[in-house]
Amino acid sequence: NMGGQNVRFGIATVKVTAGIFIYPGTAAERQVAQRMTKVVTSEVPYPGDFGPLTSCNFLSVGGDFQIHWGFILAAGQFQFNTSNLNNKMDSGFPYDDSGAAGFPDTHITGAKLTAFLNATDNTLEDPWFGAKSGEEILDNSGTPLGTAANQPWPFSCTSATDANCTDDDHSNLFQNLGFSTIPCPDLDYSFWRQVAISGLKNAYYYKYAGGGNFSLNGTGAATDVGTATSGKTGLFFFDTANALPPTDTNADGIYDNLTPDVTLTSGWNSGGFIFLNAQSLSSTGLGNSPPSRTMYAPGEPYIESNGIDGWQSGETVLRLTYPTVDPTTKPVFTRTTTSTTARIARGPNVSGTVHMDGVIYNSGYWNSKGNGRFFGSIITKQGVILAGGGPSGTPDIWFDTCLKDKCWPPPSLKLPRVVATSWETDM
């Protein structure tokens, strides 16, 4: 287990043997000493494979906050504007109810699937979207729903023109699944700190210097998080206030040694993996002209039916027509038919304008106010808050399916790919 994830122990072993010789190149040449060093290298276990937004605690959002191409995951409560459900949460490929095998991970089958396919509206807002909360869903005032059912809005399609078949379906929202059932990556502070200070190319360690500033390797000029990362790619580790693991000394659920709040502002853009230990992270005024980056939607959704991970021939696939315009314009997808013999494994590469391409992890909170477009994954240990008086606007996050499909990171992010996990010498 490395960095909170199970990975292969090693992908390569490098052995170096060195010798000392006297009178080399002559008849009297003789070796007088020899030493051997062996190192095992492993993949760097980048997180983010669970979905576009993971909160290891509660999650509160407002405004036009939207998640795309994957599931919102909240270990605790999930609060949003439930009174405006159709405008706040996208519809997708509907999910079956609690009586179905594999609930809550199973799409509709049988008569329900037939009704869905026969619907007059063949567009889907987001075929992969959904939300799972370990505890209850709350409305804006913090009041739980009138039902404690795991699936508050089960699939219902009474006729071909029923909007509940498609755009008004919210069978992809789940609650009360249990705090511990929501996967939350417990990233090892010491491991990622060591990777950052190891000297690997494009790995940067920033020590806290006070006043919300950091210094590269503890000796560079003081700078803030935004300046240190903007226009750059790589692995960035920003240490805690005292360069020790996050600590909750009074057991109130809040780490006490995190650095001050971080706000990403106008002109900021970055790529790679950013590991923060800040009290909160938010963004404001990032602007509408971020860089163009390659984006791609996930592969066609399918109905898991044989118990084997991944799609295999014979399992039902929902065939889609993928839009080829900038995903940040939020185009809809069109379903065509189903198939059991073919599946598109990943959507086409398209150009999209986003401020961040990669993964952001924060040991503290993430403030869901403030604009910004993110392609990849955001993970927060303490939770997602909707801070009053904070920045205006709301962010968008598109999930990078390569985080799940093991084709991440792309070369363009220039991230370290391997790290030494074991050293052995003959001394």
pLDDT-derived band at 122, boundaries 50, 70, 90: very high
Name the phi and psi angles at 47, rounded to 5. Answer: -85, -175
- Above 60 in pLDDT, residue 321? yes
| Proportion of the chain above pLDDT 70, given as a percent | 96
Q: How far, in Å, CA of 172 to CA of 92, rounded?
A: 7
In the DSSP assignment, the letter for residue 245 is: -
Task: Write b or e for each residue in 92-122: b if 16 or more Cβ atoms lie within 10 A of its Cβ, otherwise e.
Answer: bbbbbbeebeeebeebbeeebbebbbebebb
Looking only at the bridges linking them, the beta strands covering 317-321 and 333-339 are: antiparallel
Q: How far, in Å, CA of 41 to CA of 15, rounded?
A: 11
pLDDT of residue 49: 86
pLDDT of residue 2: 52
Q: Is residue 401 part of a domain?
A: no
pLDDT-derived band at 9, boundaries 50, 70, 90: low
- Above 60 in pLDDT, residue 222? yes
- Above 60 in pLDDT, residue 391? no
pLDDT, mean over the chain: 91
Task: Write b or e for each residue in 11-26: b if 16 or more Cβ atoms lie within 10 A of its Cβ, otherwise e.
Answer: eeeeeeeeeeeeeeee
Q: Is residue 97 part of a domain?
A: yes
Name the phi and psi angles at 256, rounded to 5. Answer: -100, -10
Number of H helices, E strands in the chain: 5, 27
Cross-strand pairs, 30: 22
Q: Is residue 24 part of a domain?
A: no
Q: Is residue 206 part of a domain?
A: no
Question: On the CB side of 21, how many CA atoms lie within 13 Å of its CA?
Answer: 10
pLDDT of residue 387: 64
Sequence-ordered alpha helix ranges (H) in 53-147: 85-88, 110-117
Choice among 11-15, 79-83, 245-249, 291-295 with the minimum mean pLDDT? 11-15
Instruction: Match 């170096």 to its residue by tokens.
Output: 16
Segment 397-402 shows an average pLDDT of: 97
Number of domains within the chain: 1
The gap from C-alpha 298 to its chain's centroid, in whole angstroms, comes to: 14
- Per-residue pLDDT tens for 406-426? 999 999 999 999 888 778 888
Choice among 60-69, 132-141, 262-271 with the minimum mean pLDDT? 60-69
Question: On the CB side of 126, how many CA atoms lie within 13 Å of its CA?
Answer: 28
H or E segment to which residue 196 belongs: helix 189-197
- Above 60 in pLDDT, residue 390? no
Q: How far, in Å, CA of 330 to CA of 66, rounded?
A: 10
Cβ atoms within 10 Å of 418's Cβ, excluding its own:
13
- Above 70 in pLDDT, residue 1? no
Catalogue the E-assigned strands of 23-98: 30-43, 53-55, 59-60, 66-68, 71-74, 78-79
Q: Between the CA atoms of 101, 105, 110 and 112, what dihedral angle is there, to the nearest 10 degrees?
A: 120
Q: Is residue 427 part of a domain?
A: no
- Above 60 in pLDDT, residue 20? yes
pLDDT-derived band at 98, boundaries 50, 70, 90: confident
Segment 237-265 shows an average pLDDT of: 95
Q: How far, in Å, CA of 164 to CA of 143, rounded?
A: 25
pLDDT of residue 386: 72
Express the helix, strand and coil content of the chain in percent, nearest 5 each.
Answer: 10, 35, 55
- Per-residue pLDDT tens for 258-269? 999 999 988 999
Q: What angle do CA 171, 72, 107 make, to 5 degrees?
A: 35
Which residues, including other chains, have CB under 8 Å from residue 13's CB and lie 6 or more apart?
38, 39, 40, 41
Higher confidence at residue 36 or residue 426?
A: 36
Identify the domain containing residue 316 by its residue range. Answer: 76-181+300-344
Q: Which residue in 226, 220, 262, 267 sits closest to 241, CA to CA?
A: 262
- Per-residue pLDDT tens for 179-219? 999 988 889 999 999 999 988 999 999 999 999 999 999 99
Which residues, including other chains, have CB under 8 Å from residue 276's CB and lie 6 or more apart?
225, 238, 262, 360, 361, 362, 363, 364
pLDDT of residue 6: 56
The gap from C-alpha 412 to its chain's centroid, in whole angstroms, comes to: 18
Q: Is residue 248 part of a domain?
A: no
pLDDT of residue 162: 96
Q: Is residue 246 part of a domain?
A: no
pLDDT of residue 348: 97
pLDDT of residue 12: 84
Q: Is residue 361 part of a domain?
A: no
| Proportion of the chain above pLDDT 90, given as a percent | 75
